[in-house]
Structure 1
């Protein structure tokens, strides 16, 4: 039996490695995630980079000389706002405009609350860093003046703050990075499905459409050996795609200036091995499921349609975990796809999960893969499947 499986496996590997376009597309697909990650986070880092000077456009600078002096001491560069400042803010040419009304000095001198206006467009993500820094400076200036006014009247400034909250953040750099880099588990799981997709379709639906499946089954080879050999070929390419995707992500994490976003991502050998141990078992289930679908489909094109819809499966749990954090339960790790994405997130956060979640993930994927392979073997015993009849 092992010899027969090895023979089918070698035959399938030779056939698929000859098709360089198919192999190239199978390996290029998993690179989509790292490329998107590198571009997106590089752009975001340029928006939120704290080192660049704060440029503030102002209307009515002469109405608040002390505020202007304070902003300049904090390193802000002041400029007069143009007449069409609203249009320029909406067009993205200005991040924000500070308006000092003419009655600001009167209210300020009389000890009343002096109002200013900050004109922004909150729909523009790239302006948020400037708005956040400017708002922080204005709040700091207001707090400083409030304390000085209380002190001048003989009142201790502490009386205005009866309770002070000091936040103690227990989050490690790995956990903070995992919250920001939550797209990595989604694309790693996606690579497990993407890598062997073309091989699974061609190995079953493609061979049947070319008329080469029937002669293969006429040989004295057990149908289970045929299915297993083809499945192992699909698994190998899926695992290669996972390795390519993970390697590209590691390069992207090192090259992207994540520190400008306040993120310190550190993927050591233990984290990399943990992610591989989590995702590789999923390749066994993904390949078996794709072979089952391509065997059931009546044509190559129909198999492509079904499996492309199947690619939505790894996206759904990742999106659910991103928008609605779930407290992990032990039974969740045995659920294929969902358990893998949950476990990768915990590995990236540096949590000590122990061996049981990894073992449950392997058991869940192995059981699901075995079920798919058994159903695929049974389908090959039906005439309507072998000859493509409706």
Structure 2
């Protein structure tokens, strides 16, 4: 009887093509666009800035060596085009020049006791300017300063290494999974739980508040089906739809990771461009099993929350107002995960329903999950599911809740 109730609700959900789009196509399309498409797009835009010769205004006199450094075309990109302007602020604001250099006094041509000041006008809050003319001018001035310093040291019979007697060599001690995931690790928990919520929402709302509006809930309750079987069936249908969305979202993550690895190996794309928004998701068999168990428990908990809230609503629209804040309960803790490195994460945190699962999923992506933490997150979710399922069962037994539409 539980499966019959669940199949009845699943058929009602699957008849809506929009639900199928949000369950299957949305995770498979949105995730590659976010994790692969956006980094490639930003990488191409920034790469285009390096190859484009931006116009840089000049007021005053620049040393010949500095002018050659600014306009020089190297292997990393194209230099800038120097033009003469009168008003630096107006030139930048009008777009006549992307940046303007102003030398109030002659700049030194050799390193010594004198120091010159070079004013650089640009729209500092503009990403295009920062990755284009502004960045090129800063690099050119740094190169010019190093050149003068090197000449001065050579004249004194010293090596350039005298300025850096100790060099720091960074060595990344992170696990391979954490290095490959990068900043993507913090996005996975939020997107995974968001897709679970969206996948189960349509079925939960339609099988409770939607049936109230259509008047079909009464016919179900007078049939020879126990209230507990009705609740279990609706919970099963909602969980299956949520898991379907979670499965396709995980498939989208893993598929994107494979495509990224292939493109990077064949040098089709720049690996640094793929690190703009993160990296790629790679899971071992153990971490994949932990991810599946955690996602299953989260789907049960979210489904129980949706059923327990939706049964109180008089209409489908009212149910939507009840479940809409749930997205904030997922997004806000997921944003806090970005600062998890500054927090002391204790074992108790994994026992917090829902949020503990986010931390556990983050550990899975980073390759740091332990069986104890997985068990704590799963048990907490199952206990929360049992409590909310009991509340939903009590609600289905109260006439003032069932018939108050």
Quote the residue 2:300 is aligned against: 284
Structure 1: how far apart are the matches of 2:291 and 2:97? 43
Contact 1:50-1:260 within 8 A present in 2 as well: no
1:14 is aligned to 2:11: yes
Q: Which residue of 2 aligns with 1:208?
A: 212
CA shift for structure 1 position 119: 2.5
Encode CA deviations 1:87-139: one digit per residue, 9 max, x unaligned.
5645778654444555125x648752233233332212233333445434432
Task: Work out whether 1:169 is the aligned partner of 2:167.
Answer: no
Q: Which residue of 1 aligns with 2:332?
A: 316
Please tell me whether the aligned partners of residues 85 and 97 of structure 1 are also in contact (alpha carbons under 8 angstroms). yes
Instruction: Determine the C-alpha separation between the residues in 1 that align with 2:61 and 2:401.
Output: 84
Does residue 1:267 correspond to 2:282, yes or no?
Answer: yes
**1:328 is the counterpart of 2:345:** yes
Number of aligned residue pairs? 384
Q: TM (normalized to structure 2)?
A: 0.82
Alignment of 1:212-231 (within 5 A): 212-231=216-235
Which ranges of structure 2 fall in alignment gaps of 5 or more residues? Answer: 264-268
Q: Distance in 1 between matches of 2:91 and 2:23?
A: 45
Q: CA deviation at 1:238?
A: 0.5
CA contact (8 A) 2:180 2:282 kept: no
**Structure 2 residue aligned with 1:64:** 63
In 2 relative to 1, CA 147–109 (structure 1 residues): closer, same or farther, beyond 3 Å? closer
Q: Aligned to 1:248, which of 222, 233, 252?
A: 252
Quick one: distance in 1 between partners of 2:229 and 2:66?
A: 80
- Find the aligned partners of 1:203 and 1:111 in 2 and give their Cα distance: 81
Tell me if the contact between 1:92 and 1:124 (Cα under 8 Å) persists in the aligned partners: no
Q: Which runs of 4+ in 1 moved over 6 A?
A: none
TM-score, normalised relative to structure 1: 0.85
Cα RMSD (Å) of the superposition? 3.2
Structure 2 distance, partners of 1:19, 1:175, is 39
Instruction: Please state whether the residue corresponding to 2:80 is helix, strand or coil.
Output: strand
Superposition deviation, residue 156 in structure 1: 5.5
Structure 1 residues 93 and 329 mapped into 2: Cα distance closer, same or farther (>3 Å)? farther
Which shows bigger deviation, 115-124 or 219-228?
Answer: 115-124
Equivalent residue for 2:360? 343
User: Structure 1 regions of 5+ residues with no counterpart?
Assistant: none
For residues 176 and 271 of structure 2, what CA distance do their matches in structure 1 show? 11
Structure 1's 349 and 22: CA in aligned 2 closer, same or farther, altered over 3 A?
Answer: closer
| Superposed CA offset, 1:62-110 (max 9, x none) | 63111233452745423123637645645778654444555125x6487
> Structure 1's 64 and 169: CA in aligned 2 closer, same or farther, altered over 3 A?
farther
Per the TM alignment, residue 157 of structure 1 is displaced from its structure 2 partner at its CA by: 4.8
* 1:376 CA drift (Å): 0.2
Q: Are the aligned partners of 2:254 and 2:281 in contact in 1 as well (CA < 8 Å)? A: no
Determine helix, strand or coil for the equivalent of 1:167: coil
